[in-house]
Amino acid sequence: MQAVIQATIDFLKAYWAPLLCGVIIVAVLPLIAGYIVLVERKIMADMQARLGPMRVGPHGLLQPIADAVKLLIKEDIIPESADKLVFWLAPVLSVGAALLSLAGLAIGPAFQVAKGINIGILFVVGVSAMGIFGIVLGGWASNSHYSLIGALRSSAQLVSYETAAGMALVCGLLFAGTLNVTSIVEAQYNQGMWFGLLAPVAFFTYLVASIAETNRAPFDLPEAESELVAGYMTEYSGFRWALYFLGEYTNMIVVASVATTLFLGGWLRPFPRTHWLNFLDFFPALSMIAVGAYCVMRAPKQPVRVQQLFMLAVAGLCFVLALVLAGPLLLPALKPSLAVAVKPFQDGILGSFWFLLKVSAYIYLFMWLRFTLPRYRFDQLMRLGWHFLIPLSIINVLLIGIAMIVGSYLHMEGGWLIFATIPASVIALIIALFILAAEQKHQPQRAGGASDSYAG
């Protein structure tokens, strides 16, 4: 027994940091997903000139807590003819794959569960793709036509867009020369430029494919309520439905983190090697001060005392965060001997801010598109994937590879490489559009001149 206890202690001493990161992810991520939903509802309300959730807590900020409690105590119904074991396991598999894929990501240079994993991006993409099994099994186990059709749509959609997304990632990996997450970000630092600027077509392809992979509008065909009631989730309720919901929003965070790592510089600020832009290091602290000042200014205008106190509390929290973000920059200025000791904290704290800011902007784009574009028909979705994105991504990889060879012969490094890769990206886009136009020209005309536009 003593040997077991000693082995456990040794294990905890060696792996306490990854275990702590894993616990934080599992414990905090559902809360983060709930508040992402609140932000999404607020943005939708703002676009539609209304207030959104306002009743539960100040400005509706306790609405995610109320929703979580409602889902936990809601009656859990399993259809009588369903395969009960598979029906029970399917949402667990879906959310488990999404949570596990976070282990390979790095939120700043100091926060990564699986540190130093050599196949980081490949691990994240492979594990997150397993979530489709939860959707397919859930639709099949429900013994419902609507659920089965939604599950089959989701599997077809993932297969179609996973290819384009994978080829888009290859472009970034060509620049980095490694699958290691930390090394990919370091490669962008050494290049002095984000890979998204070197390969904008690859970034666009991954953006569109990531929206389709996460079943978000306008590509939310697997759960199209106007056609399939609720798609593969039709027979689910309560906590199991919440697991599918959590899996979807976790996958949004995963694809946004992958795009940030590979195309947007990870935790690096814009142009990190340009010294005259070093004032951007103070942007995180100044942005927190600006938010805090705005909350102080708005506090007297709140109609209820509790809302005024809450706004002041948020302002105080913003000022504390500003002090934390500015500390690693101010301490070396006050005492130069601390510069070396403070450097890791500066990189970790400021890097995490930039990473989370980029991920938030990527997710905001998801929301913006959802409230702007109508849903595609399923044939339009497949045509976009197979007839445009996949040819575009394959041609783009080929031409980017040729551009890198040309750049190496001409000794183009860093920002100069953009003069070889941008023409390659433009040529790839033109060729893909030409292929699409030629394919549409040879298609038979619809009877009666019917349009391909969305028909409601």
The 10s digit of each residue's pLDDT in 255-264 is: 999 999 999 9
- Top-confidence residue, 437 or 170: 170
pLDDT at 444: 65
pLDDT at 226: 59
pLDDT at 57: 80
Lowest average pLDDT, out of 88-97, 179-188, 375-384, goes to 375-384
Give SS3 for 53. coil
pLDDT at 29: 83
pLDDT at 239: 85
Is a pLDDT exceeding 70 seen at residue 65?
yes
Mean pLDDT value across residues 183-189: 90
- Please state, as a whole number, how many other Cβ atoms lie within 10 Å of the Cβ of residue 160: 20
Is a pLDDT exceeding 60 seen at residue 449?
no
Cβ neighbourhood burial of 155 (10 Å; 0-12, 13-18, 19+) = middle
CA nearest 265: which of 166, 172, 328, 167?
172
The amino acid that residue 421 corresponds to is T
Lowest average pLDDT, out of 100-114, 284-298, 349-363, 387-401, goes to 100-114
Contacts of 274 (CB under 8 A, 6+ apart): 192
Give the tokens for residue 5.
Answer: 């206890």
pLDDT at 240: 85
| Digit-coded pLDDT (tens) for 130-175 | 888 888 888 888 888 888 888 888 888 888 888 899 999 998 899 9
Please state the pTM of the whole predicted model. 0.88
Is a pLDDT exceeding 90 seen at residue 221?
no
For the chain, percent of residues with pLDDT exceeding 70? 94
DSSP type of residue 74: S
Torsion of CA 103, 108, 110, 115, to 10 degrees: 30
pLDDT at 445: 59
Contacts of 279 (CB under 8 A, 6+ apart): none
DSSP type of residue 216: -
pLDDT at 227: 60
Please give the mean pLDDT across all residues of the chain.
84
| Digit-coded pLDDT (tens) for 367-424 | 998 888 888 888 888 888 888 899 999 999 999 999 988 888 887 877 788 888 888 8
Mean pLDDT value across residues 234-263: 89
